[in-house]
């Protein structure tokens, strides 16, 4: 049989469609209808507090009790379902910032990628409307306790607006926890030395970095002038999207890693009076005092990697979190891609091995992440009145050797923990038992 090259993309799409049809994603859980009690577990509240023998109750999607089970009297008849979690651990749902969950499925299949748009300045783009609640990746992610995510666009200088979603929903409207929470800026990168011959002495020198910064400055200046108009005669969609930055309803997420670019981007945001967050921040450990002074939080790039420079300590990425903690810098962990979000908690666990206190690591996955994203009023910690988004683990959820999520709840709804990996395991287990 002979294949023509032009037929290959169609064959790829056909096989991908067959794969999707064969996939069996769990049905989103219905709304909580009766009170639920979890007792006996070691509860990590997300604010640094640990209750060794806890009693946690929730009803209508909200936490109604978080207490020490040894000092209260419980009327078990009030609860329709009771979980005996003795010897287990309870955590607030982990949060994955700066992710393309639901925007990208298979990196090698372009039709499944919807995280970036053409053009340099696209602040008006909304990632939430492209969020795919039927992604096969989502059930796998939440099986490791990640129950919330910041769906983030990529590409260009201004990529668009991110939104925070919960990971068990029929559609993006149901998934949305906070829409359009901020605009994402990819700060210009410094030119890298090359082996090419230098330009002629009389040739005009143009620094591409300074040129790009100046263009950003002109765009932000124009956006600020536009934002001062309450009802402009002609609507500019790009500038309308920027309006929330200047009245501090939105955050400016600045993606940059270098010492120089981190410092200059933070000062740039301060020039316009913006609320900024540095994302990536490989060199944040060198600027901890600066970030603390300017009260700028950090969303770290993956720490399970090699150091940025040849002369850095080989374990520098693992130590960065502890160094930021010692200086009082607010930070969270992240993985930029989609499927790797399942490992975000293990980054925190590894940071514990390099000096970060255990509960500080939990905070970086829960309450501190929620504070950075602006959703701490309803998520990120086990407190009465907040969303009942939490999970039960057989062991330490930060340690891949002991982490085993046995039950998870999003807004009080007990969600399915089945996923594609478990389905494949059961399938081939049955095969080899025949």
pLDDT in tens, 363-383: 999 999 999 999 999 999 999
Is a pLDDT exceeding 80 seen at residue 196?
A: no
Rounded percentage of the chain residues whose pLDDT exceeds 70: 91
Check residues 1 and 327 and name the one with the higher pLDDT.
Answer: 327
| pLDDT score, position 200 | 59
Closest CA to 163 of 124, 135, 128, 132: 128
Closest CA to 338 of 98, 94, 101: 101
Which position has the token pair 């300590």?
313
> Any idea where the domains of the chain sit in the sequence?
31-93+380-434, 94-190+209-379
Q: What is the dihedral of CA 417, 418, 421, 422, to 10 degrees?
A: 110
Q: What is the pLDDT of residues 211-238, one digit of tens each?
A: 999 999 999 999 999 999 988 988 999 9
Q: Is 81 helix (H, G, I), strand (E, B) or coil?
A: strand
Contacts with 110 (C-beta within 8 Å, 6 or more apart), sequence order? none
| pLDDT score, position 205 | 67
Closest CA to 354 of 316, 311, 387, 406: 316
Q: What is the pLDDT of residues 112-162, one digit of tens each?
A: 777 778 889 999 999 999 999 999 999 999 999 999 999 999 989 999 999
pLDDT tier at 433, thresholds 50, 70, 90: confident
Q: What is the pLDDT of residues 300-326, one digit of tens each?
A: 989 888 898 889 999 999 999 999 999
pTM for this prediction:
0.90
Q: How are beta strands 36-39 and 405-410 bridged, if at all?
A: unpaired
CATH of domain 94-190+209-379: 3.20.20.140
Overall size of the chain counted in residues: 434
Q: Are 101 and 140 in contact (CB under 8 A)?
A: no
CATH of domain 31-93+380-434: 2.30.40.10
Q: Are 266 and 65 in contact (CB under 8 A)?
A: no
Q: Are 251 and 97 in contact (CB under 8 A)?
A: no
Counting Cβ atoms within 10 Å, is residue 312 exposed (0-12), middle (13-18) or buried (19+)? middle
């Amino acid at each position: 049989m002979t294949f023509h090259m032009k037929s290959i993309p169609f064959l790829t799409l056909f096989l991908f469609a067959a794969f999707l049809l064969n996939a069996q994603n769990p049905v989103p859980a219905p709304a909580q209808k009766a009170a639920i009690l979890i007792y006996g577990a070691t509860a990590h509240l997300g604010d640094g507090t640990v209750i060794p023998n806890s009693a946690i109750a929730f009803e209508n999607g909200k936490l109604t009790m978080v207490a020490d089970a040894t000092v209260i009297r419980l009327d078990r008849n009030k609860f329709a379902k009771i979980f005996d979690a003795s010897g287990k651990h309870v955590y607030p749902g982990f949060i994955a910032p700066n992710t393309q969950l639901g925007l990208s499925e298979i990196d090698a299949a372009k039709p499944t990628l919807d995280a970036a748009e053409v053009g340099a300045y696209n602040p008006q783009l909304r990632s939430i409307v492209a969020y795919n609640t039927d992604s096969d990746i989502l059930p796998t992610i939440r099986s490791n306790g990640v129950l919330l995510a910041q769906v983030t666009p990529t590409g260009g200088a201004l990529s668009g607006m991110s939104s925070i979603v919960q990971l068990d929903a029929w559609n993006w409207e149901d998934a949305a926890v906070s829409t359009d929470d901020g605009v994402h800026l990819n700060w210009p990168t410094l030119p890298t030395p090359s082996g090419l011959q230098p330009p002629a002495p009389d040739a005009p020198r143009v620094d591409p970095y300074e040129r790009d910064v100046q263009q950003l400055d002109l765009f932000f200046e124009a956006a600020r002038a536009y934002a001062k108009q309450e009802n402009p005669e002609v609507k500019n969609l790009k500038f309308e999207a920027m309006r929330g930055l200047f009245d501090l309803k939105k955050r400016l997420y600045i993606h940059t890693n270098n010492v120089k670019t981190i410092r200059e981007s933070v000062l740039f945001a301060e020039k316009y009076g913006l609320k900024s967050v540095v994302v990536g921040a490989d060199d944040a450990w060198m600027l901890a005092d600066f970030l603390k002074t300017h009260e700028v939080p950090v969303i770290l790039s993956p720490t399970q990697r090699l150091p940025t420079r040849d002369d850095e300590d080989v374990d520098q990425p693992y130590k960065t979190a502890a160094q930021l903690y010692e200086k009082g810098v607010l930070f969270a962990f992240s993985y930029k891609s989609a499927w790797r979000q399942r490992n975000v908690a293990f980054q925190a666990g590894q940071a514990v091995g390099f000096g970060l206190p255990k509960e500080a690591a939990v905070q970086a996955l829960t309450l501190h992440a929620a504070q950075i994203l602006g959703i701490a009023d309803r998520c990120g910690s086990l407190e009465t009145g907040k969303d009942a988004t939490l999970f039960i683990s057989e062991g330490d959820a930060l340690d891949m050797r002991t982490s085993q999520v046995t039950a998870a709840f999003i807004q009080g709804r007990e969600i399915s923990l089945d996923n594609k990996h478990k389905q494949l395991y059961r399938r081939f287990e049955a095969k080899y038992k025949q």
